[in-house]
Amino acid sequence: MNKQVRVRFAPSPTGPLHIGGVRTALYNYLYSRKNNGKFILRIEDTDQSRFVPGAEQYIIDSLAWCGITFDEGVSEGGPFAPYRQSERKDIYRRFALELIRSGRAYYAFDTPADLENIKQKFKSEENPNPQYDAKIRPFTDNSKAKGMEDALQRIENGEPYVIRICIPENEEIIVHDLIRGEVRVHSSVLDDKVLFKSDGMPTYHLANIVDDHLMEITHVIRGEEWLPSAPLHVILYKSFGWDPPQFAHLPLILKPDGPGKLSKRDGDRMGFPVFPLQWTDPATGDVSSGYRESGYLPDAFINMLALLGWNPGTEQEIFSMEELISLFSIDKVGKAGSRFDPDKAKWFNHTYMQRTSEEDLVYQLKNILYSKGYSRDENTLLKIIQATRERFTLVPDIWKQTWFFFEKPVEYDQEVIKKRWTEQSLSFLTSCREALSKIADFSHSIVEFEIKKIISDNGFNTGNSMNILRLALVGGSFGPGIYQIIDILGQNETIERIEKLKAYKQ
């Protein structure tokens, strides 16, 4: 009988959650939902020296914004609680001692100075960076070299120590990876990693293995950066006599230009976020931008991330979360890194903004107006949205593309004036003001007829005249069709704005 699929996302609270981490969480989420499994959030905070206040809550808030939900975890609880590693120290100590008893691990008392001396002693041209392994082990200060009785006495005397894994000699370690196939590593290239530290906390390697086993994790889907640790983890599973889960190491998200992994530096340099939510560093006060605050919709953000490494094998690019769950499979995840494209991220958001209902956009505009102390009737707001929505790429564009319907220009684009203003411009504006003030039925078609008649009857230049009229209405050369703007502004407001530009130029 097959086990129920159980996957986990296990971030460390050492700072804001990178979008690569969000993608890892997303793929775990999709896999669990596709296979009717369970998804667990575990916080791996064993390295207390790197703990950052607020980072754990930031992770939880970020994933909630993305629509990624958990069945068990630090907030949800569950049958394998606690889900925060700092609250599981006694569990790790118990299993570390089990490895000591079986001879699979040992006590080590080497000081940093000892380790440096050993490194210098065994350093050679062929081996410039010797590691703590089976060759060096007999010459170091540990229970393998000096005996268990000596080690226990020293521990009783209060000497600081660590517990190291005893890597077996001359063994080929095989990692079965769902994305990369079979990965073979010889044990001679592995070092005796520390499993339990002198501060009473486990390292990632021990805590990760113990928790995945106790929490009955069936699939470990994580970033490519953990692939070098996988052989050690396989050895640990074997040391405990446990069956390892199935591994899947995801490809990196690469920077838009040049080689290497996408970093915050790339985002700062090229002007895009690399974190889902805005982050304020508690130590320095530095603020890093987030996708939410930059105006991205969570569904668009998730859609974009899903395709950075996974492809269903079709030309389709827009997927709902339900479609992603239905189509997702590990065998469609590529081995090679995926290059992040900030323009493509905007394209996804623009597409989602265009798919947003008019009612929802009106609602959002209404909220913006309320915050600024403005109000308009529902019909006018609907007209404004219909006239401008195709220009919306990010949420802030709702105001950027509509503000001029609510605020008169306070300044005028000097480039437009320089290029378009002629000695006929004042006469054109005066003629418009007079004609528009006499119209009883201020409809789109009649306004258009009157303005075109003014231009034709007076021999005004059409291009210059229309640009000057737009300048009067919005302060520059932007916005939707000019007759749409006039229709929305209405008769009185249109005339007032024409008079304002005339006064400015007289």
Which top CATH class is 89-196?
A: alpha beta
Q: Which run of H or of E encompasses 173?
A: strand 172-177
Between CA 28 and CA 215 the distance in angstroms is 15
Closest of 299, 348, 343, 355 to residue 324, by C-alpha = 299
CATH topology of domain 414-505: Arc Repressor Mutant, subunit A (1.10.10)
Answer for the pair 110, 142: CB distance below 8 angstroms, yes or no. yes
Alpha helices in 328-480 (DSSP H): 342-355, 358-372, 378-388, 397-400, 414-420, 425-437, 444-458, 462-474
User: Hey, which residues are catalytic here?
Assistant: 264
Could you give the C-alpha distances from 349 to 97, 112, 342, in angstroms and in order?
Answer: 52, 51, 11
Cis peptide before 82 (omega within 30 of 0): yes
185: Cβ–Cβ under 8 A, 6 or more apart, which residues? 172, 173, 175, 231
Q: Kindly list the domain boundaries of the chain, sorted by start residue.
A: 6-72+207-253, 89-196, 356-405, 414-505
Query: For every one of its 506 residues, what pLDDT tens digit does the chain have, with 9 covering 90 and above?
Result: 468 999 999 999 999 999 999 999 999 999 999 999 999 999 999 888 889 999 999 999 999 999 999 999 999 999 999 999 999 999 999 999 999 999 999 999 999 999 999 989 998 888 888 999 999 999 999 999 999 999 999 999 999 999 999 999 999 999 999 999 999 999 999 999 999 998 889 999 999 999 999 999 999 999 999 999 999 999 999 999 999 999 999 999 999 998 899 999 999 999 999 999 999 999 999 999 999 999 999 999 999 999 999 999 999 999 999 999 999 999 999 999 999 999 999 999 999 999 999 999 999 999 999 999 999 999 999 999 999 999 999 999 999 999 999 999 999 999 999 999 999 999 999 999 999 999 999 999 999 999 999 999 999 999 999 999 999 999 999 999 999 999 999 999 999 999 999 999 88
Question: 6-72+207-253, what's its fold?
Answer: Rossmann fold (3.40.50)
**CA atoms of 401 and 230, how far apart (whole Å):** 51
Same fold, 6-72+207-253 and 414-505: no
- Summarize the chain as % helix, strand, coil (round to 5): 50, 10, 35
Structure tokens at 92: 């790790």
